[in-house]
């Protein structure tokens, strides 16, 4: 799975500008589903149907967009002011590189003295694309630029949130040949700016059960906020986050699937932040929803870090849930 994660994570696709990552995903799932469609917002929805007439409909969701930035003003000399697409931490951005859709690479700089004691604000940062020809205009978006590095079982890179989730979903599509449910595999857009893709996808699919596949924070680094999730201890079944309470039925389904698969799982309570599941849950007349999460350190930076064993564990749990 490492090669797949690398391809997906290094691909361009900020929120609202998912064309390139969508094309890559469509290529990866070619031949894996009975029906594949792209809706007006840009979500990819791929179906696998059960041979059981009374089978329930389940929707899996992994968002394909990444955090990024969008140009708001261009100054003389090739310096561009920007605002965020999703949650950017200004104290992590100085000196990082970004890539625009046409391949133009810029460097994030900062007004004033680098030695300042306080972290910069977003409006003190700019993107420097000087020294070469470019056609970047106000409204163009960029994603962070960083290669994936593998260190033993650890995978480090930008946009693992949530290209890891996309990789998990693709691998589950490959493995599930006789589904126990009618399964809609949704690769959604614009999660980082409000989970908008999940809202429209769930409305179209109208599932009885919804499960988001995403990353979550950990409590296993020095002086971290106390959280009962650690890297390398298995995927986490979400109980609660900042946007939802998971359905007890979905929690039980995931727990039972983990037991069948022989996968050790953790329980996740995330105090802030949420996933596609929060929108799936309130679609139409309501959906029983939950999430399976891969523990991740350094979320929303260019060095997000996950453990391959946790990723594989999530695939195995979902495979046991959905059928062989």
Q: What is the pLDDT of residue 324?
A: 61
Sign of CA dihedral 79, 80, 81, 82: negative
- In CATH, the architecture of 2-66+148-322 is 3-Layer(aba) Sandwich (3.40)
What angle do the packed helices 19-28 and 160-175 form, to 10 degrees?
20
Return the DSSP state at 173.
H
- In CATH, the architecture of 68-145 is Beta Barrel (2.40)
Give bridge partners of residue 128 from the DSSP assignment.
79, 107
What are the per-10-residue average pLDDT scores of the chain (324 residues)?
A: 97 98 98 97 97 95 98 93 97 96 96 75 94 90 98 97 98 96 98 97 98 96 91 98 97 98 98 96 97 97 98 98 86
pTM: 0.96
Q: Are 158 and 13 in contact (CB under 8 A)?
A: no
Task: Select from 242, 230, 96 the least CA-distant residue to 157.
Answer: 96
Catalytic residue among 171, 191, 268, 316: 191
- CB count within 10 Å of CB 19 equals 11
Quick check: is 191 catalytic? Answer: yes
Task: Select from 133, 165, 175 the least CA-distant residue to 60.
Answer: 165
**Torsion angle (degrees, nearest 10) of CA 9, 195, 202, 28:** -10
Q: Domain ranges in the chain?
A: 2-66+148-322, 68-145
Q: What is the pLDDT of residue 225?
A: 85
For the chain, how far is it from start to end, CA to CA, in angstroms? 19
Concatenate the DSSP letters of all residues of 229-278 into one string.
Answer: --TTS--EEEEE-SS-B--HHHHHHHHHHHHHHT---EEEE-SS---THH
């Amino acid at each position: 799975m490492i090669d797949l994660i690398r391809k997906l994570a290094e691909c361009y696709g900020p929120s609202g500008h998912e064309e390139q990552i969508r094309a890559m995903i469509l290529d990866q799932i070619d031949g894996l589903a009975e029906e594949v469609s792209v809706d007006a917002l840009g979500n990819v929805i791929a179906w696998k149907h059960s041979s059981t007439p009374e089978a329930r409909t389940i929707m899996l969701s992994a968002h394909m967009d990444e955090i990024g930035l969008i140009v708001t003003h261009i100054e003389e000399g090739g310096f561009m002011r920007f605002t965020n697409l999703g949650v950017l931490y200004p104290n992590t951005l100085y000196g990082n590189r970004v890539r625009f859709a046409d391949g133009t690479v810029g460097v994030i700089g900062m007004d004033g003295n680098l030695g300042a004691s306080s972290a910069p604000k977003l409006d003190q940062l700019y993107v420097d694309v000087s020294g070469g020809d470019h056609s970047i205009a106000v409204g163009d978006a960029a994603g962070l630029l960083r290669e994936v590095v593998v260190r033993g079982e650890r995978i480090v890179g930008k946009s693992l949130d949530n290209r890891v989730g996309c990789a998990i979903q693709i691998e589950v599509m490959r493995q599930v040949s006789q589904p126990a449910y009618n399964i809609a595999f949704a690769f959604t857009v614009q999660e980082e700016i409000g989970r908008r893709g999940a809202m429209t996808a769930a409305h179209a699919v109208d599932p009885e059960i919804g499960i988001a596949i995403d990353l979550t924070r950990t409590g296993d680094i020095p002086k971290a906020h106390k959280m009962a999730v650690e890297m390398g201890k298995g995927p986490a079944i979400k109980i609660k986050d900042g946007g939802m309470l998971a359905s007890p039925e979905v929690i039980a389904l995931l727990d039972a699937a983990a037991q069948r698969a022989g996968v050790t799982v953790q329980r996740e309570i995330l105090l802030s932040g949420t996933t596609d599941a929060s929108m799936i849950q309130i679609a139409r007349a309501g959906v029983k929803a939950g999430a399976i999460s891969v523990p991740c350190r350094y979320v929303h930076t260019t060095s997000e870090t996950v453990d391959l064993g946790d990723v594989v564990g999530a695939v195995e749990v979902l495979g046991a849930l959905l059928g062989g």
